[in-house]
Structure 1
Amino acid sequence: MNIQWYPGHMTKAKRAMKEDIKLIDLIIELVDARVPLSSRNPDIDDLGAGKARLILLNKSDLADERCNSAWAAYFEEKGCHVVKVNSKSGAGLKSINGVVLEACKEKIERDRRRGILNRPVRAMVVGIPNVGKSTFINSFAGKACAKTGNKPGVTKGNQWIRLNKSLELLDTPGILWPRFEDQTVGIRLALIGSINDEILNKEELAMELIRFLMKSYPHVLSERYELSAEDPLEGLMQIAKARACLARGGELDLNRAANLLIEDFRSGKLGRLTLETPQQS
């Protein structure tokens, strides 16, 4: 299964980000806790070299908690500050201000020595499409100041948002990178909704998910769908039967079953699942 998706506006967004990076003190990077490494744009490390870094493990409520802790330790070892959050419910957001001050304490102390007091920390919020940046900003600010949507690419341009006297955020569009060298990354991003669904073969994608679940979380399939198959295609057929996904003439509607399985995963109905571990990085 080969997945590539890089709309033209992303090139423009990356250029704008390069220009704005010199204005900021801190990069707040949202990643999807179910795929923390795959949902990181590798270009951000180059663009943000020398800047303080804060990684938010967003949607952490949907991810395996043991893996959340392992990923937090992984990123902290690389010099990043890390907070586990759920932007929709607001869980974890109250601790962010303190972590921002900790991440930028050298900058704040440098300003103080120069006689510059109370200059707000300027933070750029980055992340690939559909990791929840706009939802995070709206929840963090306590008002709807950034557009939100459940499809990739809602934010089209950079915009400054003043949260309080000590922190300003620069919201940026979600950008991917031009080519996925490892197709496993493309598959993981497709599963969390960061790739436009309209270009995907949902049946193939669902079978990739079944293959992963059979290996890593086999109980999920048996408990939710009473599935006992030994291969992904048979598994998808059993899900279609279990959920009465039928086309005209009583034939199994595998595309409908695939959509159902993928949506069950995205919404957390399959339980707390993580698709990659630090050991695989």
Structure 2
Amino acid sequence: MPTIQWYPGHISKAERQLKEQLNRVDVVLEVLDARIPLASHHPQIPQWIGQKPRILVINRVDMIPESVRQQWLSWFTHNNETPYFTNAKQGTGVKAILKAAQQTGVAMNERRRDRGMRPRPVRAVVIGMPNVGKSALINRLLGRKIVESARRAGVTRQLRWVRISEAIELLDSPGVIPGKLENQKDAAKLAICEDIGEAAYDNQEMAAILVDLLVELNFEQILPSRYQIDPLDMSGEEYVHALGYERYQGDLERAALQLLNDFRKGFMGAIPLEFPPDVKA
């Protein structure tokens, strides 16, 4: 497993600013990638937010099968979590999140009234790893494009408050990532799903790990049907070489990017890279 570390200066700065702003926040929207809900969870977020209400958003639900969504729903529910599944790009599931955030505001303003204070909009923050769909979610919550969104890590660079309605104000924050990625298998999943900056990894190594993961998770049949090369009698690294020499005149980088982009854009189909613990593919 290659070593992947990525902690650019803008993320370090944003993390410091985010911690300062969290005191002003009433509710936290944590956004995870549906293909890798565990690997895309920042382990320090529970510590940062303490007892604040948290709305768990599992984005890119269109990129996993419905059966896997049901498995994650059962697993999170069993662990006393209420997951909200969204496709922020298309707007699916966003209204339920808005309603949940507004409910938090009702409870907050009841407490303010009890203390003789005037009601105010609920203040929410959107937190998550880079490129999990935070900006796309905010644009859907607003009903218009106000923050830049793109299919790469590191687009949002600064914190900013935006008003959704008279009832909700939202803090958009850059993606946050641990200063050190302890679990390198999870780091590779982040790289494959493009939830980490491309400077942190080698495309050929990640493509090889993707092939190995597809075999491990019983999705290997996708590869021969798409590329006419069976992965079962070779390693992921050998597969990238075989694809490069068979299709691209030995250009291994082109072969690696083909594999990664076909997965990232959904051309291979709806494929999760994680299942709930104790649930097999």
TM-score by length of 1: 0.90
Work out whether residues 105 and 121 of structure 2, in 8 Å CA contact, stay in contact via their aligned partners in 1.
no
Matching residue within 266, 270, 274 for 2:272? 274
Number of the residue aligned with 2:93: 92
Do the aligned partners of residues 86 and 102 (structure 1) sit closer, same or farther apart at CA in structure 2, a change above 3 Å counting?
A: same
Q: Deviations over 1:136-158 (max 9, x none)?
A: 11122111211222221111111
- Note if 1:225 corresponds to 2:223: no
Q: Write the mapping of 1:107-256 to structure 2, written as runs, cut at 5 A.
A: 107-114=108-115, 116=117, 118-216=119-217, 217-229=219-231, 230-231=233-234, 232-240=236-244, 244-246=247-249, 252-256=250-254
Per-residue deviation, 1:240: 3.1
The separation in 2 between residues aligned to 1:28 and 1:169, in whole angstroms, is 10
Work out whether residues 245 and 252 of structure 2, in 8 Å CA contact, stay in contact via their aligned partners in 1.
no
Q: What do you get for the CA RMSD once the two structures are aligned?
A: 2.0
Number of the residue aligned with 1:249: none
Work out whether residues 52 and 104 of structure 1, in 8 Å CA contact, stay in contact via their aligned partners in 2.
no
The separation in 2 between residues aligned to 1:200 and 1:278, in whole angstroms, is 26
Per-residue deviation, 1:208: 0.5
The separation in 2 between residues aligned to 1:117 and 1:274, in whole angstroms, is 46
Do the aligned partners of residues 3 and 141 (structure 1) sit closer, same or farther apart at CA in structure 2, a change above 3 Å counting?
A: same
The separation in 1 between residues aligned to 2:50 and 2:3, in whole angstroms, is 31
Unaligned residue ranges in structure 2 (runs of 5+): none
Per-residue deviation, 1:218: 1.8
Q: Deviations over 1:25-66 (max 9, x none)?
A: 100011110011111111111101101011111111012322
Do the aligned partners of residues 74 and 101 (structure 1) sit closer, same or farther apart at CA in structure 2, a change above 3 Å counting?
A: farther
Identity of aligned residues (%): 34
Number of the residue aligned with 2:38: 37
The separation in 1 between residues aligned to 2:257 and 2:8, in whole angstroms, is 24
The separation in 1 between residues aligned to 2:276 and 2:118, in whole angstroms, is 40
The separation in 2 between residues aligned to 1:32 and 1:10, in whole angstroms, is 19
Per-residue deviation, 1:191: 0.5
Work out whether residues 245 and 253 of structure 1, in 8 Å CA contact, stay in contact via their aligned partners in 2.
yes
The aligned length equals 275
The separation in 1 between residues aligned to 2:26 and 2:77, in whole angstroms, is 19
TM-score by length of 2: 0.90
